């Protein structure tokens, strides 16, 4: 009997190409697991009106550990149009299954490491005063609150009268009081103190474990006073429990500007849901893009690990597949860390680092090619060839 059971959810598009590659790598390092396939994503929505089927929820509830590929998400009107005919007009509403999963299992701690690999041609470089170039060593993990904020899903177009009445009680809403209902849309940004404490504490614990000197809280409290204000207030409270670690505060807009100045100084950054999403993509862009961007969604019981890239449907049918599997493989390594298999996880990361540094095998993104069927003939490695190179380093 296997030591672990992992629910595998390839999902849509290129998720079906990269997730199997991560399983090959975990097998190579001797990870003792049984893998159970589970359905999720666009096909489930179109056929059932539910992108996260109950049977998948049941499997995650039982086994607690998931590996996820990618999903296709579309605006609600487009989603309605793709439902099978007998489901249309029956009040089905599309919700992102990964967002739903996070909320269902309270996967509120989202970790997104952005780490540069030596000789990755996509790494960020900056010009020096003497005309030379400098390549900062970026080792940043963004701690993104995963269940609240702007992604809480509490929103309306043409809000009902009871909502309009509540909004009208706020003096700032007077400017919108006479806007007709169908012409107004409202989204609520919700922050709770308990969730803020959990994500900030996780960030400080990680900084303590890694020996980093500070944690940056990145919000916008000077404008979004109540919700960002609570995040910053809680960060100050939590920081008192970690006297050896500094707390720095930046505004989200300024932080993005500073990424081009001194990104190597921000080892641990914590933010609410939307800001954390923006920050993790921005930092990922400095270390190779979404082909290198892994993440973990961690709750009290269940944990699901995924690359942060999308389903890229335009590449999904290419044969051979051309997409970079490294983000998915790094996500699998995060899963190994989570269950205490650190040695195996480190072997995987070392093998990836060796392949990147050696520079003999590069996928189309690493060669700065336009993605498409010509990439392989131009010299880019396929998805499988990149995995083969990593496996060779693991021997």
Are 391 and 264 part of one and the same domain?
A: no
Distances in whole angstroms, Cα of residue 321 to Cα of each of 291, 314, 327, 392: 14, 11, 15, 20
Total count of domains within the chain = 3
Q: Is residue 69 part of a domain?
A: yes
Are 133 and 103 part of one and the same domain?
A: no
| CATH assignment of the domain containing 197 | 3.40.50
Q: Is residue 331 part of a domain?
A: yes
Query: Token pair for residue 156?
Result: 């309306």
Nearest to 284 by CA among 295, 274, 272: 295
Boundary of a domain, candidates 286, 317, 352: 286
Are 256 and 130 part of one and the same domain?
A: yes
Are 232 and 316 part of one and the same domain?
A: no
Q: Is residue 295 part of a domain?
A: no
Are 141 and 262 part of one and the same domain?
A: yes
Query: Token pair for residue 73?
Result: 């998400």
Are 203 and 307 part of one and the same domain?
A: no
Boundary of a domain, candidates 257, 286, 315: 286
> Which pLDDT score is estimated for 57?
98
254 by Cβ neighbours in 10 Å (0-12 / 13-18 / 19+) ranks as exposed
Are 135 and 240 part of one and the same domain?
A: yes
> Which pLDDT score is estimated for 104?
96
Q: Is residue 55 part of a domain?
A: yes
Are 133 and 100 part of one and the same domain?
A: no
Are 101 and 130 part of one and the same domain?
A: no
Pairwise CA distance, residues 114 & 107, whole Å: 20
Question: CA angle 84-7-2, nearest 5°?
Answer: 150
> Which pLDDT score is estimated for 256?
95
> Which pLDDT score is estimated for 340?
97
> Which pLDDT score is estimated for 77?
85
Are 233 and 139 part of one and the same domain?
A: yes
pLDDT in tens, 224-267: 999 999 999 999 999 999 999 999 999 999 999 999 899 999 99
pLDDT values of the chain reduced to their tens digit, one per residue, 395 residues: 889 999 999 999 999 999 999 999 999 999 999 999 999 999 999 999 999 999 999 999 999 999 999 999 888 889 999 999 999 989 898 989 999 999 999 999 999 999 999 999 999 999 999 999 999 999 999 999 999 999 999 999 999 999 999 999 999 999 999 999 999 999 999 999 999 999 999 999 999 999 999 999 999 999 999 999 999 999 999 999 999 999 999 999 999 999 989 999 999 999 999 999 999 999 999 999 999 999 999 999 999 999 999 999 999 999 999 999 999 999 999 999 999 999 999 999 999 999 999 999 999 999 999 988 899 999 999 999 999 999 999 99
Q: What is the DSSP string of 19-39?
A: HHHHHHHHHHTT--EEEEE--
Are 103 and 232 part of one and the same domain?
A: no
> Which pLDDT score is estimated for 379?
95
Q: Is residue 118 part of a domain?
A: no
> Which pLDDT score is estimated for 262?
93
Pairwise CA distance, residues 330 & 112, whole Å: 11
Q: Is residue 116 part of a domain?
A: no
Q: Is residue 293 part of a domain?
A: no
Residue 158's domain comprises 154-187
Number of residues that this document lists for the chain: 395
State the DSSP code for 288.
T
Pairwise CA distance, residues 126 & 136, whole Å: 8
Radius of gyration of the chain from its Cα atoms, rounded to whole angstroms: 22
Q: Which long-range contacts (CB under 8 A, 24 or more apart) does 129-138 make?
A: 136/262, 136/263, 136/264, 137/264, 138/114, 138/263, 138/264, 138/283, 138/286, 138/287
> Which pLDDT score is estimated for 150?
96
Q: Is residue 117 part of a domain?
A: no
Boundary of a domain, candidates 223, 258, 286: 286
Query: Token pair for residue 16?
Result: 């079906």
State the DSSP code for 277.
H
Are 132 and 211 part of one and the same domain?
A: yes
What is the pairing mode between strands 185-187 and 214-219? unpaired
Nearest to 277 by CA among 43, 102, 124: 102
| CATH assignment of the domain containing 358 | 3.40.718.10
């Amino acid at each position: 009997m296997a030591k672990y059971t992992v629910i595998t959810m390839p999902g849509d598009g290129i998720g079906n190409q990269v997730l199997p590659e991560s399983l090959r790598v975990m097998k190579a390092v001797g990870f003792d697991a049984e893998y159970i396939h589970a359905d999720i994503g666009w096909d489930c929505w179109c056929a059932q009106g539910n992108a996260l089927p109950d049977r998948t929820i049941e499997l995650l509830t039982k086994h607690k550990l998931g590996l996820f590929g990618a999903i296709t998400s579309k605006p609600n009107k487009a989603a309605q149009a793709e439902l099978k005919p007998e489901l249309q007009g029956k009040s089905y509403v599309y919700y992102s299954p990964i967002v739903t999963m996070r909320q269902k299992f309270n996967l509120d701690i989202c970790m997104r490491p952005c780490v540069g690999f030596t000789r990755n041609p996509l790494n960020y470089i900056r010009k020096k005063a003497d005309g030379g170039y400098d390549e900062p060593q970026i080792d940043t993990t963004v701690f993104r609150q995963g269940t609240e904020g702007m992604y809480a899903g509490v929103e309306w177009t043409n809000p009902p009268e009871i909502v309009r009445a509540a909004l009208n009680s706020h003096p700032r809403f007077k400017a919108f009081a006479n806007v007709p209902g169908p012409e107004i849309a409202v989204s609520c940004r919700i922050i709770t103190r308990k969730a803020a404490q959990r994500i900030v504490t996780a960030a400080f614990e990680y900084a303590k474990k890694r020996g980093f000197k500070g944690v940056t809280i990145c919000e916008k409290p000077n404008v979004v006073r109540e919700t960002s204000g609570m995040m910053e207030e809680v960060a100050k409270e939590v920081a008192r429990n970690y006297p050896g670690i500094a707390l720095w505060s930046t505004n989200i807009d300024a932080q993005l500007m500073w990424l081009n100045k001194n990104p190597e100084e921000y080892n641990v950054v914590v933010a609410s849901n939307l800001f954390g999403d923006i920050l993790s993509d921005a930092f990922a862009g400095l270390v190779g893009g979404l082909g290198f961007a892994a993440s973990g969604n961690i709750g009290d019981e269940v944990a699901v690990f995924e690359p942060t890239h999308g389903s890229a449907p335009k590449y999904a049918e290419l044969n051979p597949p051309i997409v970079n599997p490294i983000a998915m493989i790094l996500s699998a390594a995060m899963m190994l860390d989570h269950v205490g298999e650190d040695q195996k996880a480190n072997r995987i990361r070392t093998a990836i680092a060796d392949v990147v540094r050696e520079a003999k095998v590069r996928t189309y993104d690493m060669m700065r090619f336009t993605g498409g069927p010509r990439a392989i003939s131009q010299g880019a490695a396929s998805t499988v060839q990149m995995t083969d190179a990593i496996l060779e380093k693991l021997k």
